[in-house]
Chain A
Amino acid sequence: MSRSTPPQADEFEVSIFGPGRGECIVIHLGNNEWCVVDSCIDRATRQPIAMQYLNSLASDALSGVRLIVATHWHDDHIRGLSSLLKAAPAARFCCSLALKDDHFLTLVQVATDGGQPESGVDEFSEVFNTLMRRKGSTHASLVSPQLAIQNRVLLKLDRSSASLSVAISSLSPSDGTTRKAITQFGSLIPREGAILGSIPDQPENHTSIALWLNLGTRRVLLGADLEHTGRDGEGWLAVLSSKQDAGKAGIYKVPHHGSSNGDYDAIWEELLGNQPFAVVTPFSSGKKLPQPSDISRLLTRTDNLYCTASGSKALPRRDNNVERELRGMTRRAVEGDSGHVRLRWTSSESEEAIRVELFNGAYRA
């Protein structure tokens, strides 16, 4: 099937994109209604990948976006989010409850005033400004961000048939991780005398929003970058201790790019069904993820493991003079074409009927 063939009204879809640095998930909720989780940019066009994909499916797909979720504020998950939000006027914006904190809002303004691009918070500044501009011209629910915290229903679409109904809930962040994130925000605000433009990347993913989707009779678990810290009340332990749905998910976006710190036996035992479709988005900057050992570990969990992009991407060939200067240097491309793993199924079909399609270098591990 062509990549630009839109889903049928009674078809669900989970599309996972990953260019090597960044990820984005586009979900068809049936009836041309959509949800987008996180955002990354197409290397060639510099446009949000979700926007390009939805436009390629149907001219009115963007107007059907109901919910846009920023799972956390790291740059590789939110680049292009504000452009997407502008193009989707019926979409509610959702972020972690922790981001309502005064310190985070100050950090966002500091990013604008101090010119701190690629720090993650600068994109939030444009998101918040986009929401401010909606004031007065749309319903208040489309202005105020929806705040995600453990076990909150973010979107519910009750339809005539249960097999077409949709519910999206946040499984995290927990109270504990929210408190921890708020403490961290305060420490990130520059002090007097600090140099403008120097907020370093933050390694922790305290506020990540893991999502539980009920799409008709199937369940989907999107793990964001949520980690297993081993501490009660945090990360996956907090999710498992407050689990509300007795069902198990058959589709899984593997958390934190397949890293071992996002993995935990009980996720597979208690939240996921047998041989789930699991999708990893690589992270090629710094310590490359997933490592070969991560792929081996994940393959012991499921045979249905997919990856949106290969870890090695070709470096561009440049002018001979430039190539001479670069000789011997350690460098690598951290983004390539955005690989795409697409899973589709019709609401009435059985578990085995999920169709997996791979585009732009995505592959089965």
Chain B
Amino acid sequence: MTLSQSPPMYFTGQNPVNPSPNEISPLALNQVDDKDVAGQSGLNKNYSDCGDSSQLSASVAQNVRRFLGPPPAIRDQVERVSSLKPNQVWEGKVTRILGSEFIALIQDQTVRTNPIEEVTLELDLVSEEERGLVHPGSAFYWTIGKEKTPAGQIKNISFIQFKRNPRWTANMLARSEKRSRKFHTLFSEDE
């Protein structure tokens, strides 16, 4: 099953600078790997611990490649920044929505041995275009880092990107139902 979608056109061909090994080129974010996409929303997938920033960048690039497409928040960044150096990345899952805030469990992707945290986040941190994606069970990445503008200015940055999962179709559901029948044999053997 392929769940991927084509990346937005404006993303292709834009590579304003050659990033250093410790930075992520916006183009790197564009390299969606179809093989990776089907299992993209795991809180506990196989990420390595990142002892130094170059490893961290590689890990983040790997994480971000798992996205189905860059949401508007990052598109804005891409249009105006030449590079992004993440200091910290979490993968999160929304557990509850409370008015103008939401509560999420977040797993540190920078140091995997850090404990899972529960955090209360303002909905304002999510771009308006993405707020429809915020619901219990939805997954996101939260990145804190530094951006270097084309003019060379370095600024702190914190942004949340929600995973843009496709929707279940009748065919997909029928296929899952059919596949689930293999499990029935487990329960019939002992009866």
Q: Which of B1, B41, B115 is in CB contact (< 8 Å) with A116? A: B41
Tell me if B177 and A109 are in contact (CB < 8 A). yes
What 1/0 flags go to A39-79 for Cβ under 8 Å of B? 00001101000000000000000000000000000000000
CB-contacts of A269-293 with B (<8 A): 284-286
Tell me if B44 and A197 are in contact (CB < 8 A). no
Tell me if B139 and A197 are in contact (CB < 8 A). yes
Tell me if A331 and B117 are in contact (CB < 8 A). yes
CB distance from B165 to the nearest CB of A (A): 4
- Verify if A144 is at the interface (C-beta below 8 Å from B): yes
- Verify if A194 is at the interface (C-beta below 8 Å from B): yes
Known: A108-B183, A117-B43, A316-B114. A141 touches B190 (CB 8 A): yes
CB distance from B53 to the nearest CB of A (A): 10
CB neighbours of B95 from chain A (8 A): 200-201, 285-286
Tell me if B158 and A325 are in contact (CB < 8 A). yes
- Verify if A258 is at the interface (C-beta below 8 Å from B): no
CB neighbours of B139 from chain A (8 A): 197
CB neighbours of B127 from chain A (8 A): none
What 1/0 flags go to B104-147 for Cβ under 8 Å of A? 01001001111111111100000000000101111100001110
* Bound complex: CA A318 to CA B137 (Å): 27
Query: Would you call the interface of chain A mostly helix, strand, loop, or mixed?
Result: loop
Tell me if B190 and A100 are in contact (CB < 8 A). no
Tell me if B173 and A192 are in contact (CB < 8 A). yes
Query: Would you call the interface of chain B mostly helix, strand, loop, or mixed?
Result: mixed
CB neighbours of B119 from chain A (8 A): 329-331
CB distance from A191 to the nearest CB of B (A): 7
**Chain A residue at smallest Cβ distance from B187:** A100
CB-contacts of B76-123 with A (<8 A): 87-88, 93, 95-96, 103, 105, 108, 111-121
CB neighbours of A44 from chain B (8 A): 113
CB neighbours of B184 from chain A (8 A): 102, 105
- Verify if A255 is at the interface (C-beta below 8 Å from B): no
CB neighbours of A146 from chain B (8 A): 190
**Chain A residue at smallest Cβ distance from B122:** A329
Tell me if A143 and B115 are in contact (CB < 8 A). no
Q: Which of A43, A113, A145 is in CB contact (< 8 Å) with B175? A: A113
CB neighbours of B17 from chain A (8 A): none
Which listed segment binds B: A238-246, A295-303, A332-340, A345-353?
Answer: A332-340
Tell me if B156 and A115 are in contact (CB < 8 A). no
Tell me if A198 and B135 are in contact (CB < 8 A). yes
Tell me if B117 and A198 are in contact (CB < 8 A). no
Known: A106-B176, A117-B41. A21 touches B114 (CB 8 A): no
Most chain A CB within 10 A, of B144, B170, B175, B176, is at B176
CB neighbours of B186 from chain A (8 A): 128, 131-132, 143-145
- Verify if B13 is at the interface (C-beta below 8 Å from A): no
CB neighbours of B163 from chain A (8 A): 197
- Verify if A1 is at the interface (C-beta below 8 Å from B): no
**Chain B residue at smallest Cβ distance from A199:** B137
* Bound complex: CA A324 to CA B156 (Å): 10
CB-contacts of A162-196 with B (<8 A): 189-196
- Verify if B52 is at the interface (C-beta below 8 Å from A): no
Known: A192-B173, A197-B137, A331-B120. A46 touches B88 (CB 8 A): no
9 cross-chain CB contacts under 8 A: A20-B115, A102-B180, A106-B177, A115-B38, A117-B43, A143-B189, A196-B167, A200-B135, A335-B116
Besides A114-B165, A195-B168, 7 other CB < 8 A contacts?
A20-B115, A114-B176, A132-B183, A144-B187, A284-B118, A321-B87, A331-B117
Smallest CB-CB A-B distances: 9 pairs: A144-B190, A109-B180, A200-B136, A198-B137, A331-B119, A333-B115, A330-B120, A117-B42, A196-B165
Chain A interface residues toward B at CB < 8 A: 20-21, 43-44, 46, 100, 102, 105-106, 108-110, 112-119, 128, 131-132, 140-141, 143-147, 189-201, 284-286, 313, 315-316, 318-319, 321-322, 324-326, 329-336
